[in-house]
Amino acid sequence: MKTLPPNLDPTRLPRHVACIMDGNGRWAQQRGLPRIAGHRQGARTLKDLVRCCKDWGIPTLTVYAFSTENWQRPLEEVSFLMRLFERLLHQELAELHQEGVRLQFLGDLGALPAPLQLQMHRATTETAHNQAVTFNVAVNYGSRLEITRACRHLAEQVQRGLLAPDDIDEASLEQHLYTGSLPGPDLLIRTSGEQRLSNYLLWQLAYAELYFTAALWPDFDRTAFAEALQAFQGRDRRFGRLSPVEQALPA
């Protein structure tokens, strides 16, 4: 499925898709494999999804790779994930760059291992001008912390006399989020049957359509993605307004 499946309308695709890549551990356990095998397979799934977004004309993809709460996992798994992120960046950067992928990282990156930070910095600067797909990876990310941090930045500006409290609006707060001026996701996909946001993009998802699937992340292939997009295209997005039909009826 290199081209967009015929049942999808190319003019009504989401501009920005966010994913909570859940179920790697269960995928591995179901096969009698260690959990890390699930993360490895999950990374392959992710790689194809980035390519799929490019092939099908979806300009922005944002995935949740590691939350601020994930440090509580066994040390062995955390270390594996950190090494996996670093290795993938090292191995895949040239190809992603060649394909026009712009890589960005969201989260408290300063707390990550130094070699990983270095790879992230390199990936961000090298791909900064690419335009085919913007691929955001949330690492050591927590939405409440992100919003708190944005408030702190604004408070500091007020304290320094650079900003009046009345000047604080949604747009100025948004500028201080990790996502900056990036438009919010139109569609959030969470795999593995869980139906929670888990502290992910709480501000940015205000008007996103939510799609939950029982598929485990390593099994989330192009067919599963097409199903999510089809569900998205079947939604009536009103952003708090009335639908055109309701609009035409007397109040």
| Between 70 and 124, CB nearer to ligand FPP | 70
For 88-124, b where at least 16 C-beta lie within 10 A, e where not — what string?
A: bbeebbeebeeeebbbbbbbebeebeeebbebbeebe
Q: Which of residues 70-129 bind ligand FPP (CB under 6 A)?
A: 70, 84-85, 88
Is residue 179 within the footprint of ligand FPP (CB under 6 A)?
A: no
> Catalytic: 199?
no
Is residue 43 within the footprint of ligand FPP (CB under 6 A)?
A: yes
Is residue 21 within the footprint of ligand FPP (CB under 6 A)?
A: yes
Query: What is the 3-class SS of 73-138, one letter each residue?
Result: CCHHHHHHHHHHHHHHHHHHHHHHHHCCEEEEEECCHHHCCHHHHHHHHHHHHHHCCCCCEEEEEE
Q: Which of residues 51-80 bind ligand FPP (CB under 6 A)?
A: 65, 70
Is residue 22 within the footprint of ligand FPP (CB under 6 A)?
A: yes
> Other C-beta atoms within 10 Å of 229: how many?
24
Q: Which among 77, 64, 72, 68 is positioned nearest to 37, based on CA atoms?
A: 77
> Catalytic: 236?
no
* Residue 182 contacts residue 156 (beta carbons within 8 Å): no
| Between 26 and 149, CB nearer to ligand FPP | 26
Is residue 189 within the footprint of ligand FPP (CB under 6 A)?
A: no
Report, in Å, the least distance between residue 39 CB and ligand FPP: 5
| Between 50 and 150, CB nearer to ligand FPP | 50
Is residue 142 within the footprint of ligand FPP (CB under 6 A)?
A: no
Residues that bind ligand FPP (CB under 6 A): 21-26, 39, 42-43, 46, 65, 70, 84-85, 88, 137, 192
